[in-house]
Chain A
Amino acid sequence: MAQTSHGVGGLTYDAKKRAWPAEFNVFLALVILVVIFELIGRIFLGDSFLFNTRSDVSGIFNEARLQIIILQVSIVGIIAIGVTQVIICGGIDLSSGSIVGATAMIAMSFAQVATVNGNPNPKAMFLAQGWTDLPVIVPLLVAIGCGLLAGLVNGSLIAYTRIPPFIATLGMMVTARGIAKWWSKGQPISFPTDSFAAIGKGLMPVIIFLSLAVLFQLIMSYTRYGKHCYAIGSNEDAARMSGIKIANHKILVYVIAGILASLAAVVLSSKNLTAQAGMGVMYELDAIAMAVIGGVSLSGGRGSIIGTVIGSLIFGVIISGFTFLRLDAYYQEMVKGVIIVGAVVLDQWRQRLRALRA
């Protein structure tokens, strides 16, 4: 009890008791990782990971690489935003990858053109009904509807039947993948309208990812919704006794996660100009990994969207770094697994250390 100095109420400030923001450690890890790749590159390949070494391109940094790093994580990153708030609220969502698959198929069906090269579009799902060349808002609303419905089922199952989130969303994962395959009997759905294709063009995925990240960072720290997410995740009984409507809140959390997954599906299918039943496989695990690497605690109550964004960058740097070092993609997956487990172990060590100091 070092703080019993006299003062007004509780306003004595003890700098030693100040908590170190977890995001700082994650950012440090990102920097260290970049430095490691830079050093290995300089020593063994005579090339730079981060900086521009080509004379025919201007600029200090290797902008092409930086763009690829963020571009390849932004679609899973959109999912990771939703998954982050689910985990903070004490849950887990395994269904997001399959929601991407199902939503991509369904939404793309409403975004197809009527004619390709002067002939009727051979892939159009609703050619007979004349539902082609629809305005971009239609597939967008259909997608949001899909995500909302999936999230509603997830959330209601968890809130009312009280089955563990792991099981509820595992069920949705299998079911939604089934829907994705059944929708067109396994056929890919292609030829979207120009306006739909514009959603995922160029750096649009990055812009969408970062704007959603900013929006949800604000929601999580400045609104009642965010506060209640942290409260439920850290002590559900306390939250209930404080009068928070746990069931409603949980449903909303899963609905938002579902909608974000469906937005990721729109961006992904728009970027690829096609939708396939196998889209988004393993995305749920990549998204969870980004959150965990970013310092979100799997036991709930701790973490932030900023952390997850940095976590996703770590992800991107590892993938690009391995490509840069000309290592096989197989190694990427192996190392990814090690990093996920390592991040959780590190987090637990840090918690134990803190508990000892308190």
Chain B
Amino acid sequence: MSDIVLKTENLTKRYGGVHALEGANFELRKGEHVAIMGDNGAGKSTFVRQITAVEQRTSGQIWFDGKEVNFAGPIEARTAGIETVFQNLALADDLDVPSNLFLGREKVLFNLGPFSILDRKYMRKATEAALVRTAVKIPNLSNTIRHMSGGQRQCVAIARTATFASKLIIMDEPTAALGVQETAQVENIIRTLKDNGEPLILISHNMRQVFDLCDRIVVFRRGRIVANLRKENTDGQDIVSYITGAKTGEAELAA
């Protein structure tokens, strides 16, 4: 079972009496793209927040990259190789592309504490390489994020995950706020990631997108995983009935 990148067992999160996430068992293999679907408040984002340690879980275990992990915070999770593209992007509007990609982990020439001199040449080169790898097109690297369209911003956010040797990428509704053309651009990047064998968890409400981009679909409903289906063995109708609760019970993966 060495090809399992991420595994959770009985992952549970309660906010007081609210059971936001209840006994989630989840597996992700190398190179696999998995979609997480479900209604608003079904527990999708809560699930992701436990994995990335933005919140601390109530109970349950997480294995990542072959080891059981207990991240103290999102920084630790990121250092371990879990990169998240947040719904609210988490980019600094007034910085240019390389600065955003390297934000918080700048490469320095001389280490002088806070006054360390930045290695701007290296960061620019690495940024160019990351953009090539993800096939992201940005008109001018020196432009600030403020001057970019929503799609370009999203692309920068995704390219950031590819700058560092990430082992797992999580995207939370990456195309929710984008137009048709920009959505296509982001989806192309996700396909590039697939070709490179990078595992991905994609939270999305877009059925077409999920069937286009992912191998497997996991449906959340009322804090529980109610379905875990291979794309070939299901269809949109089926998924919708799980999301709405017309079909119940955990649908096991047909091997």
**B137 A234 Cβ-Cβ under 8 A:** no
Q: Count of A-B contacts with CB under 8 A?
A: 126
CB-CB < 8 A to A187: which residues of B?
none
Whether B48 sits at the interface, judged by CB under 8 Å, is no
Q: Within the complex, what minimum Cβ distance (angstroms) separates B187 from chain A?
A: 14
**B141 A10 Cβ-Cβ under 8 A:** yes
CB-CB < 8 A to A7: which residues of B?
137
Known interface pairs A1-B181, A224-B106; A238-B90 also in contact (CB < 8 Å): yes
Whether A285 sits at the interface, judged by CB under 8 Å, is no
Which of A4, A243, A252, A302: most chain B CB closer than 10 A? A243
Contact with A along B101-135 (1 / 0, CB 8 A): 00111101000101111101000000011011101
Name B91's contact: one of A1, A12, A235 (CB within 8 Å).
A235
CB-CB < 8 A to A5: which residues of B?
137
Known interface pairs A224-B108, A241-B74; A301-B89 also in contact (CB < 8 Å): no
CB-CB < 8 A to B142: which residues of A?
19
Known interface pairs A9-B128, A244-B103, A358-B146; A3-B139 also in contact (CB < 8 Å): yes
Interface size on B, residues (CB 8 A): 49
Whether A64 sits at the interface, judged by CB under 8 Å, is no
CB-CB < 8 A to A225: which residues of B?
114-115
Q: Within the complex, what minimum Cβ distance (angstroms) separates A20 from chain B?
A: 11
Whether A233 sits at the interface, judged by CB under 8 Å, is yes
Whether B149 sits at the interface, judged by CB under 8 Å, is yes
Whether A326 sits at the interface, judged by CB under 8 Å, is no
Chain B, Cβ-Cβ closest to A232:
B92
CB-contacts of B139-184 with A (<8 A): 139-144, 146-149, 151, 181-182
The docked-state distance in angstroms from the alpha carbon of A227 to that of B146 is: 16
CB-CB < 8 A to A3: which residues of B?
137-139
The docked-state distance in angstroms from the alpha carbon of A358 to that of B182 is: 15
CB-CB < 8 A to A234: which residues of B?
92-95
**A249 B114 Cβ-Cβ under 8 A:** yes
Name A231's contact: one of B92, B140, B146 (CB within 8 Å).
B92
CB-contacts of A1-23 with B (<8 A): 1-5, 7-14, 17-19
Given pairs A9-B137, A227-B99, A230-B95, 17 additional interface contacts (CB within 8 A): A8-B128, A9-B129, A10-B138, A11-B128, A223-B114, A223-B118, A225-B114, A231-B95, A233-B94, A234-B95, A235-B92, A237-B88, A239-B103, A242-B90, A243-B74, A249-B114, A358-B147
Q: List 18 A-B contacts (CB under 8 A).
A: A7-B137, A9-B132, A9-B136, A10-B139, A11-B141, A12-B137, A19-B147, A223-B115, A230-B99, A231-B92, A233-B94, A234-B94, A238-B90, A238-B92, A238-B103, A239-B104, A242-B90, A301-B92
Give the B-binding residues of A (Cβ under 8 A).
1-5, 7-14, 17-19, 219, 222-225, 227-228, 230-231, 233-235, 237-239, 241-244, 249, 252, 301-302, 354, 358
